[in-house]
Amino acid sequence: MTSIAGLRDLRRRTVPPKYIPVLVTAGLFLAMFVAGGIRYENFATGQIILNVFIDNAFLLVVAVGMTFVILTGGIDLSVGSVVALATMLSASLLKDGWPAYAVMALVLVIGAVLGLAMGAIIHYFEIQPFIVTLAGMFLARGLCYTISTESIPIENPTFTDIAQTRINLGGDLSVSPSAVIAVVVVLIAAYVLHYTRLGRNVYATGGSEQSALLMGLPVARTKIAVYTISGFCSALGGLLFAFYSLSGYGLSAVGMELDAIAAVVIGGTLLTGGSGFLLGTVLGVLVLGLIQTIISFEGTLSSWWTRIFIGLLLFVFILLQRVFSGGSRRRTP
């Protein structure tokens, strides 16, 4: 008890508590990167960081949408299934001869409409987001199998060109178009969250929905908007995953919703809503990606150790959230 009280006194005197989880995540990422550089040859390079972005671009985009949802105090369990549905729709329609950009546009619209429908049901029928998005998860995954139970390869020239293109950053550094798209999505989302009315409404709704209603804020519109954004980001993440794998498969992205939630929580966003930053989500995705990179460099560890480390990190960050937010909530009359 004394140590917890000491931590709370320390944070009151120094850094505002809302920044502490992000700083802890940044420190963890730096420590992992330095430790990897010491242990492994050719690890501490800029390309390693860029490779983490390249390999996790689709997860980063999905996690951005999840951040909007969690900031309002909600949850979206459908994102992994929507990613899989996006890959299946893309592969199937391209195989039937559809133009690549028409397929991309249709997939993004379908993802946004699914998100909008779930948001409307959650708000107007007052059903828990967990239940509604769980139904959405089964619906999207089931639709994948109505298209095909087998993997469908993508051979469209536009998709293969995007998948194989590398953007030279100078020296030996390069990134994929998917990583650039993910960074653009993060920048747009950060602007929306911190400099627009929608962003302010998102934080207000997550802080206290009842208070937001009493202030006359458009809670219904805000909740529907965040699920629409999440659906759109999931569909876009599915397109990036299609570029990454050049195939569509109904079992793609199984468990990706949990990875997205883990990245958001490790990035410092409160699961109860109202507090968090997109920078934290980016750092959370980078931490998850760096764990996978370290395990692949080690060579002797099973990939299941990734899940073990993520589970331990989640425990640590949930406890941190309790330490740095629990006290102030108990003092609220």
Q: Write the pLDDT tens digit of every residue in 219-265.
A: 999 999 999 999 999 999 999 999 999 999 999 999 899 999 999 99
Question: Yes or no: is domain 20-323 CATH 1.10.10?
Answer: no
Residues 6+ apart with CB under 8 A from 118: 76, 78, 129, 132, 133, 136, 227, 231
SS3 state at 14: coil
Please give the average per-residue pLDDT across 111-139, as a whole number. 96
Beta strands at 167-170 and 152-153: parallel, antiparallel or unpaired: unpaired
pLDDT score for 326: 52
Is residue 55 packed enough to be buried (19+ CB in 10 Å), middle (13-18) or exposed (0-12)? middle
pLDDT score for 200: 95
Q: Residue type at 256? A: M
| Helix-helix angle 304-330:256-266, to 10 degrees | 50
User: 328 pLDDT band (50/70/90 cuts)?
Assistant: very low
Q: What share of the chain is helix, strand, coil (3-state, %, to 5)?
A: 75, 5, 20
SS3 letters across 184-195:
HHHHHHHHHHHH
Kindly report the pTM of this predicted structure: 0.90
pLDDT single digits (tens) 132-167: 999 999 999 999 999 999 999 999 999 999 999 999
Please check the confidence at residue 7 and state whether its pLDDT lies above 60.
no
pLDDT single digits (tens) 160-205: 999 999 999 887 899 999 999 999 999 999 999 999 999 999 999 9
Give the Cα separation of 55 and 165 in Å (integer): 14
Beta strands at 152-153 and 247-248: parallel, antiparallel or unpaired: antiparallel
